[in-house]
Copies of this chain bind each other. A is one copy, B any other.
């Protein structure tokens, strides 16, 4: 701590008082009149937000690297008011199917990336290139993955030694896979409710609530900024802390947060993070934070105290990532397009690799693009680590991509043998490839164990590459798959 920090603290104590004079638009003032008592928690939360304290004019007046808005010039009308209820919930009324008349205003419930783009167009544009913005379709419109989702969420029935699966309803999908991937929000009529302010009608929203990263919105846009920039405080602190990412990146299919938490980076954050400044823009390595969080490596504008840019801010995210590590059967170079439903492998499946692992190269980034992304990420590493360290880490990591793919190929060969011998029914039988016990073991091989091992390698959280759903489980799984095949073949003889 320095005298600067002491002054910062004193200033932080006094400063908010000065900003309370921030001007509200008349429309927002109207909202607050009732909503202070109708939804006090939401209003109080917003009052803590930067939105409630800074006008666009003030925001645009900052030096470019401190700026949190990316529009070219101040739009008329909202330049000198703070961003309140009305500014977000009444913008673009014609584009929103969920717009309804509410106390004399045209209000919509679901604020969307298209709405946020009014002030943050660059971020929204980048995000539209992010795989996440297509997370709904990439799961729900891909026949292979849609089948996996149905076999996971559908209730199984048992009758006469046979198991069959019901089709899951939208509500179940919405709180399972689509909680993170996003739902398709549609207006289906309207609902009238008795409220403290009399009877009122509201649009009935299917797929609501949801804040999934690939949500299909009532204005046709894709995504939800509030997945990470949590309503209504929109705290950048929160977006930068790893807990936010953990909401969707913690389960056995993608234990990124858990890996981080046992990595040296994560233990530094857990132990000393309370002394950091997670609010500053740009984010200065060494001064504001002493170990990366998810945001530092993947998203934030990072600078040095000497003013050098370590990494530009990005909401595409994979522009720092040469490899796609998880979710698919094999790790592979990132897809070129965020819409992965367009990919077809030789077998006609919507997968970026063959079942035997060969990448479907035409849809994926090439070596040169991989190298560019690798360098971008390594520049972040190099702001604390020397080149020999970084090379050693990356060489192990890319080797692990190969060995985990190799292990998945072994598991796949056992499945192919099971299909071949009739012990299980597969592609050739026009049967689901995810419904039988051995197929579920195969899924766990890549979806849990190989993914976990790769994430462990990428972020140096060793447990998840060893005994915590890592290599131990890959080898155990293969032994158990072979035993199952033996027992089953005997059964069917």
Contacts and interface: CB of A to CB of B under 8 A. Distances in A.
A455 to B, nearest CB: 12
Contact of A251 (B16, B47, B306, B463): B463
Given A271-B237, A485-B161, A41 B290 contact: yes
Contact of A44 (B44, B287, B437): B287
A197 interface: no
Given A388-B109, A478-B156, A482-B158, A270 B241 contact: yes
Nearest to A202: B388
B290 A48 contact: yes
A338 B414 CA distance: 43
B479 A44 contact: no
A479 B389 CA distance: 46
A76 interface: no
A267 to B, nearest CB: 4
A486 to B, nearest CB: 6
Interface string A287-310: 100100000000000001110100
A266 to B, nearest CB: 8
A97 interface: no
Contact of A410 (B156, B263, B287, B406): B156
Contacts of A435: 479
Size band of the A side of the interface? 35 or more
A244 interface: yes
A347 interface: no
Nearest to A306: B37
Interface string A453-493: 00011001011011110111011101110111111101100
Contact of A155 (B202, B209, B244, B410): B410
Contact of A304 (B40, B253, B305, B389): B40
A286 interface: yes
Contact of A262 (B241, B247, B272): B247
Given A169-B399, A241-B270, A487-B491, 9 more contacts: A36-B306, A40-B384, A41-B285, A45-B384, A161-B485, A205-B388, A209-B392, A246-B261, A251-B463
